[in-house]
């Protein structure tokens, strides 16, 4: 290992030992420690107020120097020699012993620099750490550790670029999903209106004509046939109404979210025999169309799941306005299920109901989660921002 001292220390090596006050237990192990020290992968400097006392091979290689004496003489000029800059700010470093002198003052400091490698002439990134060295509360020396972190920084930069691309791709997917849902809802509304206004009215006209014909004919056989036909028309009318309501209930557009949810809960309770109720707290003011349709579709999907799978006797829908958010809680007393398995199935395309609810919430800047366990029912909890244009999912989660 290369060792040395400043010119004024050459005549009295005992003075060095006295200044450092090296304990005897350390002196006995110095030969072995010297070998380890000199072969460390990081550049290490050790010194005191008089200057650099020890420097391992890697440290001298980093500076393009051959001896400690040369290092002591050139330490203040090293930044100019190596073209040293602060890695984060790009600021040119003018004083090469800042970290060293601050470590002498008892401060633990670390910073990152770029240098031009003396041998390869390529830019490297160095992490420099100054450490005060004490023993029995006595300051012995300071150590400066220089670590080449070039490969780590290159890997971090690549990772950051990949992360940026991933975020951009996710944002693009969200934009496309939002557009797709908007188009889907528009088509649903148009088809529902066509079913109600065109096909529904046409079937109603056919039924009226058949009733008129039945009143005018005296043939029992024809009347029987007309009765059967009228019954078929009525069944078709009911199916058309059902399709229209499932696609887009007009009550949602005409009266708003709460009447639509109450109507849907009453309707599904009557059809399924499962008792449902709606609880609302402090719901006043206008809700955006995007928020209303997202909330309604989440309720619709959750109730569909309850009827199909939960084997529940009761369920409830709770809506509450808190600050700038709408809180939605859907609970049932059914058999429950494994949410993780359901999510895996949804990702594999076997069931998209769970992901559909989450996507609806996230596309309006909200958040949704599901809590369920065997025989303890299920809770679907969502927080939806009232101002969908300025909310952030992470803020809502907090």
DSSP 21-32: T--HHHHHTHHH
Question: What is the spatial distance between Cα 93 and Cα 102, in angstroms, rounded to a whole number?
Answer: 15
Chain centre to alpha carbon of residue 296: 25
Which phi and psi (to 5°) does residue 269 adopt? -65, -45
Question: Do 7-148 and 252-398 have matching folds?
Answer: no
Residue tagged 């949804």 (tokens):
346
Question: What is the spatial distance between Cα 339 and Cα 299, in angstroms, rounded to a whole number?
Answer: 18
pLDDT in tens, 293-330: 999 999 999 999 999 989 999 999 999 998 889 999 99
Ranges of the chain whose pLDDT falls below 70: 1-32, 95-100, 103, 106, 135-136, 349-351, 388-398
* 154 sits in which H/E element: helix 150-194
pLDDT in tens, 93-107: 776 556 667 767 767
Question: What is the spatial distance between Cα 3 and Cα 13, in angstroms, rounded to a whole number?
Answer: 12
What is the domain partition of the chain in residue ranges?
Answer: 7-148, 151-248, 252-398
Beta bridge partners of 378: 332, 372
**Is 252-398 a domain of CATH 3.30.565.10?**
yes
Query: pTM of the predicted model, to two decimals?
Result: 0.58
Residue tagged 């056919």 (tokens):
206
Domain covering 7-148: architecture? 2-Layer Sandwich (3.30)
Chain centre to alpha carbon of residue 55: 46
Question: What is the spatial distance between Cα 262 and Cα 23, in angstroms, rounded to a whole number?
Answer: 83
Question: What is the spatial distance between Cα 258 and Cα 36, in angstroms, rounded to a whole number?
Answer: 75
Question: What is the spatial distance between Cα 271 and Cα 267, in angstroms, rounded to a whole number?
Answer: 6
- Residue spans of beta strands (DSSP E) within the chain: 43-48, 51-55, 85-86, 109-116, 123-135, 138-148, 275-281, 314-322, 325-332, 367-372, 378-385
How high is the pLDDT of residue 24? 59
Residue tagged 């992360």 (tokens):
163
Do residues 208 and 234 touch, judged by C-beta distance below 8 A? no
Do residues 49 and 64 touch, judged by C-beta distance below 8 A? no
Specify burial of residue 71 (Cβ count, 10 A radius: 0-12, 13-18, 19+). buried
How high is the pLDDT of residue 14? 38
Residue tagged 């041998």 (tokens):
119
3-state secondary structure of 66: coil
């Amino acid at each position: 290992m290369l060792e040395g001292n400043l010119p004024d220390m050459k005549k009295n090596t005992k003075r060095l030992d006295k200044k450092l006050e090296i304990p005897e237990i350390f002196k006995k192990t110095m030969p072995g420690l010297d070998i380890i020290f000199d072969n460390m992968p990081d550049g290490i400097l050790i010194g005191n107020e008089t200057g650099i006392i020890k420097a391992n091979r890697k440290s001298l290689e980093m500076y393009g120097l051959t001896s400690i004496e040369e290092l002591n003489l050139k330490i203040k000029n090293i930044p100019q020699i190596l073209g040293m800059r602060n890695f984060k700010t790009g600021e040119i470093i003018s004083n090469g012993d800042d970290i060293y002198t601050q470590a002498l003052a008892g401060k633990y400091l670390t910073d990152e620099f770029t240098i031009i490698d003396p041998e390869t002439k390529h830019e490297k990134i160095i992490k420099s750490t100054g450490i005060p060295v004490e023993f029995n509360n006595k300051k012995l020396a300071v150590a400066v550790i220089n670590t080449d972190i070039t490969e780590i920084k290159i890997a971090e930069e690549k990772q950051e670029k990949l992360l940026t691309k991933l975020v951009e791709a996710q944002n693009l997917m969200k934009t496309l999903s939002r557009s797709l849902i908007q188009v889907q809802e528009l088509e649903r509304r148009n088809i529902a209106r066509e079913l109600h206004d065109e096909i529904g009215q046409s079937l109603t006209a056919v039924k009226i004509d058949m009733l008129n014909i039945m009143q005018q004919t005296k043939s029992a056989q024809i009347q029987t046939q007309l009765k059967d036909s009228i019954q078929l028309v009525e069944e078709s009318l009911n199916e058309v109404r059902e399709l229209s309501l499932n696609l887009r209930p007009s009550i949602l557009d005409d009266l708003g979210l709460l009447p639509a949810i109450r109507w849907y809960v009453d309707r599904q309770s009557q059809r399924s025999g499962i008792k449902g109720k709606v609880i609302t707290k402090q719901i006043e003011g206008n809700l955006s169309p995007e928020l209303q349709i997202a909330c309604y579709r989440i309720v619709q999907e959750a109730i569909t799941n309850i009827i199909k799978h939960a084997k529940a006797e009761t369920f409830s829908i709770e809506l509450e306005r808190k600050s700038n958010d709408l809180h939605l809680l859907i609970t049932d007393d059914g058999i429950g299920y494994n949410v993780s398995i359901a999510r895996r199935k949804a990702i594999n395309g076997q069931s998209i109901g769970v992901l559909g609810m989450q996507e609806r919430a996230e596309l309006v800047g909200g958040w949704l989660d599901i809590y369920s366990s065997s025989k303890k029912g299920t809770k679907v909890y969502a927080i939806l921002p009232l101002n969908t244009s300025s909310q952030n999912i992470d803020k809502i989660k907090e």
